[in-house]
């Protein structure tokens, strides 16, 4: 399912990207994905949106006891910032809100909050039925962290770390680590674009992330992924697309905020982010 593309060569500046409309702001966009999910991201400095373009609906495959296919189906999307993320289902006009416990990043390759090292054990795979996969996906939830870095000249000996960070989710199905890995990176790149709007467009850009998750026998597996960010560019982002529609209603699922907690967060998600 991975979307493969070439990086945009145009060095469009933030000033050029900004449109004289109050509902638009300069930001970044890119595409990426894994073998089982394809996504598109658009993000301004404080908020972003991840659209699920496609999901492999074949038989679920457990990895060390975990179903890591995200809850979202094709056509669903996520809204995210540094405090929470929202899984949105346009077909049913419903959403669920998940709290982010901590989020940080830097542009100095600092490893604040990171473990000294990661061990990467063998990944055991097992196919299960769709029903069992769906059941396990909701049962296996809790707090988890994503450690990530975005590189230029990605996957080459000459790579340079553009940004490094960490995002900690308070509680969510572990399957959501598959999409959360892109949230912090997108927010960092959008911020970096306000500092240097051309530098990261000059070479290959990729994301490396590690998610320590508890699977079989209560053992923790460090799941690592290395993914290219394709078609990355400066763009004029429609802020209404980063806003939760007013007629959508909250639904509580495993790890999500309660209805009353979700209502408190909904106020901000139904308001467009500040353009500056």
Q: Point out the residues of the chain with pLDDT beneath 50.
A: 1-20
Specify the pairing of strand 94-106 against strand 249-250. Answer: parallel
Residue 133's pLDDT is what? 92
Instruction: For the chain, give the number of residues.
Output: 276
Instruction: Map out the domains of the chain as residue ranges.
Output: 14-269
pLDDT in tens, 13-51: 444 444 446 688 999 999 999 989 999 999 998 999 999
Residue 275's pLDDT is what? 60
Residue 216's pLDDT is what? 86
User: pTM of the prediction?
Assistant: 0.90
Residue 98's pLDDT is what? 97
Residue 3's pLDDT is what? 44
pLDDT in tens, 54-86: 998 888 999 999 999 999 999 999 999 999 999
């Amino acid at each position: 399912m991975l979307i493969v593309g070439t990086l945009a060569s145009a060095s469009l500046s933030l000033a050029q990207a900004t449109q004289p409309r109050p509902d638009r702001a300069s930001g970044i966009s890119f595409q990426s994905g894994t073998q089982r999910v394809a996504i598109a991201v658009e993000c301004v400095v404080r908020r972003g949106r991840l659209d699920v373009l496609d999901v492999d609906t074949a038989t679920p495959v457990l990895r060390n006891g975990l179903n890591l296919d995200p809850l979202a189906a094709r056509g669903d999307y996520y809204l995210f910032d540094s405090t929470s993320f929202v899984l949105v289902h346009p077909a049913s006009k419903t959403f669920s809100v998940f709290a982010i416990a901590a989020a940080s990043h830097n542009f100095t390759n600092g490893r604040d909050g990171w473990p000294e090292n990661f061990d990467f054990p063998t990944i055991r795979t097992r196919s299960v039925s769709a029903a069992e996969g769906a059941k396990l996906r909701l049962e296996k939830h809790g707090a988890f962290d994503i450690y990530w870095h975005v590189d230029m000249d990605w996957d080459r000996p000459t790579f340079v770390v553009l940004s490094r960070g960490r995002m900690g989710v308070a509680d969510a199905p572990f399957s959501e680590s598959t999409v959360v890995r892109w949230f912090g990176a997108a927010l960092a790149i959008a911020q970096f674009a306000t500092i240097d709007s051309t530098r990261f467009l000059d070479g290959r850009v990729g994301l490396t992330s590690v998610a320590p998750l508890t699977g079989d026998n209560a053992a923790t597996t460090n799941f690592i992924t290395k993914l290219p960010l394709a078609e990355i560019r400066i763009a004029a982002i429609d802020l209404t697309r980063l806003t939760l529609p007013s007629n959508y209603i909250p639904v509580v699922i495993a790890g999500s905020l309660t209805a009353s907690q979700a209502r408190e967060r909904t106020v901000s998600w139904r308001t467009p982010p500040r353009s500056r």
